[in-house]
Amino acid sequence: MTLRRAALELLAVGVPAAMVVMAGTYPFTWSVPTALAACLALPLRHRWPWLTTVLCLPAICGGLGWPPAVVAFYRTGRRTGDHRIPTACVLLATAVPTTFVVLNERLPPNQALLTLAYTFFMSAAPAAIGALITARQDLTTSLAETGRAREAELEALEATARASERARIAREIHDAVGHHATLIAVESAALAATTAEERTRDAALRVRELAKETLAEMRAALGLLNAPREPAEGYTDLPHLVDRARAAGLPVDFDATNATTPGPAAGRAVYRVIQEALTNVTKHAPNAPVRIRLTTHNHHLHVTVTNAPPLHRPPQQDPGGTGLHGLSERVTLLGGTFTAAPTSDGGFTLEATLPTGRTKVDREHSTYGGGERNPTNA
């Protein structure tokens, strides 16, 4: 980098000096010395560009100072952030040489005006080019920073959506597992209070303590000891959701005749999937027909929501939504699959597959703690 800078500096000083030396006509005896002095002063332009411009004025008046002056004016436009300084330098470099030439050669008005225009162009053009290059670099840097900020914002929104969805799922896990753990503790306490066998009583009390510890550890792990509760809609609330969408003017065809009711967690996930799909249709394809199909196959509930192409193009919207990311996170954590993609005709399809949700503590399982006792085991 140092060698490159030294080479550029040598060219910036050497080329104007060579042009001065090779000039065939010397208007004044002091033209060449002042021009070479201006060339030697060019390294000062990095720190004091306005001073370098002022030092070039005698050389410009001598007629050979334009090569170093162009370099000085360019640096003035590039380096100075305040536009008043380049403007003052240009006006000064225009007025002083023009006045000198007009008074020294007694030019007529038309030639004096031509000299003024030439002098102004030779001083203003390099400064303007330098200022434009600086503005372009600043704009490029600003656009790059804006792009990075936008990417960081989208990543933060996606992370927030995922965290929110995980917190919601944690609350649902707390409700479902906590319910069964509480039942286990209550049944164990009842067994300990009613049995006459010491070993059975001790075992029941141990089960009760383990259930209570499990519930406490789960609450602590999920961070839900003091978390606010939200109403959790589920599978049975789907008709109300569809009715609200229809009341809002969305033509919805809902068919769940071939579906079986899933477990609570899967039911809430199905509700969120359909709710997000209807919300996206309302935003991006208002009044487009929507078809919702729920079917059960191999102990999995398949959800398909397809909307037709929009009847008219909605206003341009910010594409930074994160609802689909949250749905994908929720469905994946429940052991299902989730896809969302546009259709060939311009519509959109959202599909999710979720396990129907039978567990080891279902009512039919032998370890279920509630309900009636099995007569054969009584």
Residue 292 has pLDDT above 90, yes or no: yes
Residue 165 has pLDDT above 60, yes or no: yes
Q: How confident is the model at residue 228 (pLDDT cuts 50, 70, 90)?
A: low
Is the pLDDT higher at 277 or at 84? 277
Main-chain dihedrals φ then ψ at residue 125, nearest 5 degrees: -60, -50
Q: How confident is the model at residue 321 (pLDDT cuts 50, 70, 90)?
A: low
pTM for the model: 0.44
Main-chain dihedrals φ then ψ at residue 263, nearest 5 degrees: -70, 170
Which of the residue ranges 5-9, 144-148, 166-170, 213-217 has the most confident prediction, judged by mean pLDDT? 144-148
Each residue's pLDDT tens digit, 17-51: 888 878 766 777 788 888 888 888 888 888 888 88
Average pLDDT for 191-208: 88
Strands of the 290-297 sheet, one edge to the other: 252-258, 290-297, 300-307, 348-355, 337-342
Each residue's pLDDT tens digit, 167-195: 777 777 777 777 778 778 878 888 888 88
Which of the residue ranges 159-168, 333-342, 352-361 has the most confident prediction, judged by mean pLDDT? 333-342
**Is 181 within 8 Å of 211 (Cβ atoms)?**
yes
The residues pairing with 204 across neighbouring beta strands, listed in sequence order, are none
- The Cα 5–Cα 273 span in angstroms is 61
- The Cα 132–Cα 155 span in angstroms is 34
Main-chain dihedrals φ then ψ at residue 241, nearest 5 degrees: -60, -45
Q: Taking phi first (over 0 means left), then psi (-120 to 50 degrees means alpha), and beta for anything else, what does residue 63 get?
A: left
Least confident of 108-112, 327-331, 356-360: 356-360
In the predicted model, what is the mean pLDDT of the chain? 80
As a CATH number, domain 235-355 is 3.30.565.10
